[in-house]
Amino acid sequence: MRIGILGTGNVGRALAMGWTRAGHDVVLGSRRPDDAQLRSELTSAVGDDIPVVDTAAAVAGAEVVVNATPGTASVELLAGVGAPALAGKVLIDVAVGFGEDGSLSHPLESLGEEIQRTFPDVRVVKTLCTVDARLMVAPDSVEGPSTLFLSSEDAAAKATAVALLNDLGWPSDSLLDLGGITTARGQEHYSLLFMGIAEALGSYGFGVRVVPQV
């Protein structure tokens, strides 16, 4: 599958390597694809096998688009690519937006909802925003299983996302479908608890597990 990842930070790089190892055709989309320093950094991080192109080119050839950009800039960046170019595509949104004071940039409506509302013809799936970049691509790197969440209005898009998560090593019984895109609010708000846990543990290397009552 052709996957266009928008964003070249730690998350974008980790996902690019994870899906490339799984046999997918991955490109990284950047607003600065010709920046020599960025290209040098990316070559050191992900090698030469993952192309770096501009964001429009990353979307144009992709079956699945991944938003791994800063959440405060995501909608503007996607608008720059254009609604017609995104129409009909599955868009996996892994971003969370933070203000300068550490507060959520989307306290009432999630970023996932804003993307879906702004681009109604895009098939948005919110997932992967409750774990750090390493755990995204190495779910067995923590002791015991973790739970990962999905929010979307589109059942077929969710199925595509589940298959891609399986390819990263996430077993289907670790994936919890929360329902429609409004449930993305819970995923994004969890980031505040995530930061508290990380500070208490002194590490971002942890997951959470939903344990049903018997």
Residue 13 lies in a domain: yes
Computed over its alpha carbons, how large is the radius of gyration of the chain?
A: 16
CA 201 and chain centroid, separation: 24
Residue 210 lies in a domain: no
Sequence-ordered alpha helix ranges (H) in 103-203: 111-118, 133-137, 155-167, 184-201
Residue 68 lies in a domain: yes
CA distance 183 to 201: 27
| Strand intervals (E) in 78-139 | 90-93, 123-126
Residue 24 lies in a domain: yes
* Domain that includes residue 124, residue range: 2-201
Two structure tokens written together for 20: 């490339």
CATH number at residue 108: 3.40.50.720
CA distance 172 to 111: 25
Q: DSSP 3-state assignment of 123?
A: strand
Residue with tokens 């992967």: 128
Q: Which of 21, 15, 113, 167 is nearest to 29 (CA)?
A: 15
Two structure tokens written together for 205: 């290397």
Per-residue pLDDT, averaged over 73-100, amounts to 96
Residue 207 lies in a domain: no
Q: What is the pLDDT of residue 36?
A: 74
Q: To the nearest whole percent, how much of the chain has pLDDT over 70?
A: 100
**pLDDT-derived band at 123, boundaries 50, 70, 90:** very high
Q: Which of 144, 146, 143 is nearest to 131 (CA)?
A: 146
CB-based contact 158:125 (threshold 8 Å): yes
What is the tally of structural domains in the chain? 1
Q: Which of 11, 208, 160 is nearest to 95 (CA)?
A: 11
Burial of 191 (0-12, 13-18, 19+ CB in 10 A): middle
Residue 208 lies in a domain: no
Q: To the nearest whole percent, how much of the chain has pLDDT over 90?
A: 86
pTM of the model: 0.95
**pLDDT-derived band at 32, boundaries 50, 70, 90:** confident
Average pLDDT, the chain: 95
Q: What is the pLDDT of residue 21?
A: 94
Per-residue pLDDT, averaged over 88-103, amounts to 94
CA distance 100 to 203: 22
Q: What is the pLDDT of residue 4?
A: 98
CB-based contact 5:45 (threshold 8 Å): no
Q: What is the pLDDT of residue 34?
A: 77
Residue 106 lies in a domain: yes
| Structure confidence by residue, pLDDT tens digits, 130-167 | 999 999 999 999 998 999 999 999 999 999 999 999 99
Q: What is the pLDDT of residue 33?
A: 82
Q: How many CA atoms lie within 13 A of 107 on its CB side?
A: 4
Q: What is the pLDDT of residue 150?
A: 98
| Structure confidence by residue, pLDDT tens digits, 34-77 | 777 887 888 777 777 889 999 999 999 899 999 999 999 999 99
CA distance 130 to 126: 10
Residue 213 lies in a domain: no
